[in-house]
Structure 1
Amino acid sequence: MIYALKNKNGDIGEYYFAYWVTKYFGWPCRLLDIDLGLDAQVEICNPKHNAIGKFIAVQIKSTQSNKKSVSLHLDNLKYWKAMEEPVIVARIINVTKVPEIYWKIVNTKSIDKLIKKAEKSKEKKTTLNFSDNDCLTKEHKEEFRLLPALKNIEKLEAQSKKVNEKFEEGVLPFYDVQEKEYNMNTIGCDDDFIENFDSLCFEMDTVKNCEFFDEIIDNFYDRLIEYPKLVEVFEVYKNLAITYIRSLKHNSKLDVLQRWKEHPYHSDLAYIVNNN
């Protein structure tokens, strides 16, 4: 049996990548026996070196040359797009001399462009290019730790857009075109207003329960479009709820509080009622 050069370079690259991640990040890196578009799995650890049950999938492409670009097949791209875990492509150049690792996460929203290019190609492939800025260093450890959060930005944005549409349906009737502001006088007091706002509070919770929500807000807020819009509309709705409750007469307010005891309300609405 001949141990082909291509196989040797591939094995060297995989072993080197696992060695590098384990040495410089201090994280486990498992090489996969069966190659179905993935070669390795990196397990993310927290700063105290505890595994947190989050993983990064890796496709490793190695070469003896200094060519940084790699060819990606359509089947692999579609497979990676369907994965929940972040997928990175690692390109290792000069693998038998002084190896250098270049990397990119591929299964964010940008993967759609790669898929379209591969679909138009006769070979059903497309090229992924790397620059000097993509060279893997020890300083990328925190960026690797945040890759699952980065991967979930699109999910948070989709959920935010869906709920934002519901919010806008509830808020727009209260907009006074002449006064150019929101107020309760546009349609009068609505007996169901508290229940409607309560249900929308829970809708907001579904968005905030998006996986890696805190990490996304803390590290990638500048990349969000839909969520900031949602927060703005929610604040409008909350202020209307305050206005509504303050407008209630004493007996009506007592009635609201009585209903409150009978039906558990959302904590945001509880605060509004109990402090107005």
Structure 2
Amino acid sequence: MKYDANKRIGDLGELVVAAAFIRNFRWPCRLQNMDVGIDAEVETTNNQGVASGKVIKVQVKATMRSFKNGTNTIYPTVKHVNYWKEFSVPVLLCAVSLSSNEILWKLINPNVNYLTNKGARVDFDRASDALNVNSRRAIEKIAVEGFDPVIQMLNSVKHSINSFFDASGNCTISINDVEACERHELNREMISMAYKMIGLSNRSNAQVLENVTAALDKRWNMIDVELHRQAL
């Protein structure tokens, strides 16, 4: 059995990533013995080093080339991207430059379309996507929230509601815009559903989610008041 260059580069990349998670965050990083599209599993810990039970899967793509300033691109297979999107826990794609031991990371979001005419692509910014000690809070947030359906729903509502306000905070919805009015009513239904789901579940972050929902509810009412004003 030949231990070729591609295998060596892949193994080195996994070791660099595992070492970075342990060194920067003091989190255990378990390399997967059976690689079927996922290279490692990371578990977050608290400040005392107690494991949280919150895990993130990691896939590593390594290269001997140096990263350039600005955008760097990885071209995974469509099959792999679809596989990562189906995971019940978040998946991070880490690009590693073995010439500098730099690591860039990106969350694989099930709601993002990574497909192009030539296959799949994931873009990384050398500055903002660098994996370092400052990445801890963002990755912890991903591990805690995962793909919680309530959080996903609230994020969708937030994006929709914010689109009805301009940069100065003025409501720009028009009663004559049928599509916008339909989205407004859908937001009402999703806010009501979020309240119900939070109330029925035993969530450690229930109060935080209730506060977020209440804030969105308040902005929804501002839009509704504007629509009623236009109807007069």
TM-score range, shorter chain: 0.5 to 0.7
Change (3 A) 1:212 1:56: farther
> 1:37 aligned to 2:37?
yes
> 1:130 aligned to 2:154?
no
* 1:95-174 to 2 correspondences below 5 Å: 95=98, 97-110=99-112, 113-114=113-114, 117-118=115-116, 120-121=117-118, 125-131=119-125, 132-152=127-147, 155-158=150-153, 164-165=188-189
168, 190, 198: which one aligns with 1:207:
198
Which segments of 5 or more consecutive residues in structure 1 lack a partner in the other structure? 169-199, 235-276
69, 80, 90: which one aligns with 2:84:
80
> 1:21 aligned to 2:21?
yes
Measure, in 1, the Cα distance between the counterparts of 2:207 and 2:137. Answer: 12
Measure, in 1, the Cα distance between the counterparts of 2:80 and 2:144. Answer: 22
Measure, in 2, the Cα distance between the counterparts of 1:70 and 1:106. Answer: 12
Report the RMSD for the aligned CA atoms in angstroms: 3.4
Measure, in 2, the Cα distance between the counterparts of 1:128 and 1:51. Answer: 30
Instruction: Report the residue type matching 1:130 in the other structure.
Output: F
Query: Between Structure 1 and Structure 2, how many residues are aligned?
Result: 186
Instruction: Report the residue type matching 2:89 in the other structure.
Output: E
Which segments of 5 or more consecutive residues in structure 2 lack a partner in the other structure? 158-185, 222-232
Measure, in 1, the Cα distance between the counterparts of 2:207 and 2:77. Answer: 32
Q: TM-score, normalised on structure 2?
A: 0.67
The structure whose Rg is larger is 1
Contact 2:145/2:151, CA 8 A, preserved across alignment:
no
Match of 1:255 in 2: none
> 1:92 aligned to 2:96?
yes
Measure, in 2, the Cα distance between the counterparts of 1:30 and 1:83. Answer: 17
| Pairwise CA distance, 1:210 | 8.0
